[in-house]
Amino acid sequence: MLQPRTIIFPRLLIFSKNHNYHFSITLSEACGHSSFLLVAISYAVDDFLQLRMIAVAGSAVMLCFTYFHPYGRVLWLPLKWNALFIAINSYRIGKVLLDQYFAETRLSPEILKMRDSHFYSMDPIDFYKLVRIGSFEHFRPGDHLMEQDMPNECVRLVMDGELHVVRDNQVTYRVVEGNFLSEKGLHAGLLLPGSVESCASIVAITKGKTLTWNRTELMDLLKREQGLLRALKTTLTWDIVRKLKGQRLLLREGAVDNPDQWTQRRTEQSQHRYAIILREMLQDPQYLKKRKQELQKYRLIHHIDDEDHELALLTNGWTVEDFERGCQEKKPGNDSRRKTSEKHQKGEEESSSSTEHDFKWHLHDMYMRIFG
């Protein structure tokens, strides 16, 4: 490895009229040059798996260079670090290949059909990760999957069957295969964990089943997997379009007895949903500050004007000025303001614990990104 080798370049290659060019190099030095060349190549690669493989190759030849160093002694510090990099990247390569295998062999034909029909923009491995944390939930005609004004901690995808969304005994729209339930704001990038109040009841018309996720587990996954989140947001956008088409179909079929009342219930449902989302965000001022752009995007998608926005704020005990400031104004001697202040103080305590949770989550996220 340390014995010099002479490479002769013919005169024609170096455009010399007099003599050939002699270049001396050891195999150890060749490994060192190859390592940096492979690192440079990895910067130009878009594919995650190829990048990892090139990184392993680069670290492997760097091991040879650090062990058979031209100065005649082993460089243990870079050797150990490169050995660690090889182990981490090899583990991630193996995990990706294993996930690819599971994505192709572990999913049922029904799930694969759902992917081809409604999740075609999503990477198969991302789709497998999404399905893996979900569970199937069966329903029969007359079953209530959710009740209006009651807390709900699940996000559902209809796999089979038909369900009606009911607001104050008025069917506002129906959901079928491929439609989502309780995805509140997810299509706009609002990742609301925990239990969220339902703005309508979900009643089963036929038997069928849903793929159900715990909201907190799903949001944690989406925070770690940004590519999965982007693909899911695309799918949810098309889901909204399908639901709007379904609403127009209800009118054409004559399934709506009183169109005016139906329109009013739909409007109330949309306003109630926005008020619920706003309430969840107002409980954590730090999250509200970070996600105001996503909230504005949600308002544009669902046509929430300034009047509806102000009404939702008042419903939650806030004013427009409080919202712009990011916290509620504290006025001594006013009972309502005192209650609001106590609520805000509680929100600050929750925000503090949330910040601590976020710090721990970021450490966990870093671990997951390295080791998967």
Q: Are residues 72 and 122 in the same domain?
A: no
Q: Are residues 27 and 58 in the same domain?
A: yes
Q: What is the pLDDT of residues 255-293, one digit of tens each?
A: 888 888 888 998 999 999 999 999 999 888 888 888 889
Q: What is the pLDDT of residue 334?
A: 43
Q: How confident is the model at residue 8 (pLDDT cuts 50, 70, 90)?
A: low
Q: What is the pLDDT of residue 333?
A: 45
Tell me, yes or no, whether 267 lies in a domain. no
Q: What is the CATH number of the domain that holds 163?
A: 2.60.120.10
Q: Are residues 32 and 87 in the same domain?
A: yes
Contact at 8 Å (CB) between 202 and 145?
Answer: yes
Q: Which of 65, 89, 104 is the last residue of a domain?
A: 104
Q: Which of 84, 104, 124 is the last residue of a domain?
A: 104
Q: In terms of residue numbers, what domain contains 172?
A: 109-262
Q: Are residues 114 and 25 in the same domain?
A: no
Q: What is the pLDDT of residue 81?
A: 93
Q: Are residues 72 and 121 in the same domain?
A: no
pTM: 0.73
Residue 72 has pLDDT above 80, yes or no: no
Q: Which of 215, 243, 262 is the last residue of a domain?
A: 262
Q: CA nearest 96: which of 43, 53, 42?
A: 53
Residue 26 has pLDDT above 50, yes or no: yes
Tell me, yes or no, whether 311 lies in a domain. no
Q: Are residues 79 and 143 in the same domain?
A: no
Tell me, yes or no, whether 338 lies in a domain. no
Q: Are residues 100 and 135 in the same domain?
A: no
Q: Are residues 113 and 182 in the same domain?
A: yes
Alpha carbon distance 211, 302 (integer Å): 25
Q: Mean pLDDT across the chain, nearest whole number?
A: 84
Tell me, yes or no, whether 244 lies in a domain. yes
Q: What is the pLDDT of residues 211-264, one digit of tens each?
A: 999 999 999 999 988 889 999 999 999 999 888 888 888 888 888 888 888 889
Query: Quick one: three-class SS letters along the chain?
Result: CCCCEEEEECHHHHCCCCCCEEEEECHHHHHHHHHHHHHHHHHCCCCHHHHHHHHHHHHHHHHHHHHCCCCCCCCHHHHHHHHHHHHHHHHHHHHHHHHHHHHHHCCCHHHHHHHHHHCCCCCHHHHHHHHHCCEEEEECCCCEEECCCCEECEEEEEEECCEEEEECCEEEEEECCCCEECCCCHHHCCCCCCCEECCCEEEECCCEEEEEEEHHHHHHHHHHCHHHHHHHHHHHHHHHHHHHHHHHHHHHCCCCCCHHHHHHHHHHHHHHHHHHHHHHHHCCHHHHHHCHHHHHHHHHHHCCCHHHHHHHHHHCCCCHHHHHHCCCCCCCCCHHHHHHHHHHHHHHHHHHHHHHHHHHHHHHHHHHHHHC
Tell me, yes or no, whether 225 lies in a domain. yes
Q: Into how many domains does the chain fold?
A: 2
Tell me, yes or no, whether 230 lies in a domain. yes
Q: Are residues 114 and 137 in the same domain?
A: yes
Q: Are residues 86 and 127 in the same domain?
A: no
Write down the residue that tokens 């752009």 correspond to. Answer: 293
Q: Are residues 98 and 173 in the same domain?
A: no
Q: Are residues 30 and 14 in the same domain?
A: yes
Q: How confident is the model at residue 339 (pLDDT cuts 50, 70, 90)?
A: very low
Q: What is the pLDDT of residue 211?
A: 96
Tell me, yes or no, whether 305 lies in a domain. no
Using CA of residue 28, residue 30, residue 33, residue 38, what is the dihedral sign? negative
Tell me, yes or no, whether 372 lies in a domain. no
Q: How confident is the model at residue 344 (pLDDT cuts 50, 70, 90)?
A: very low
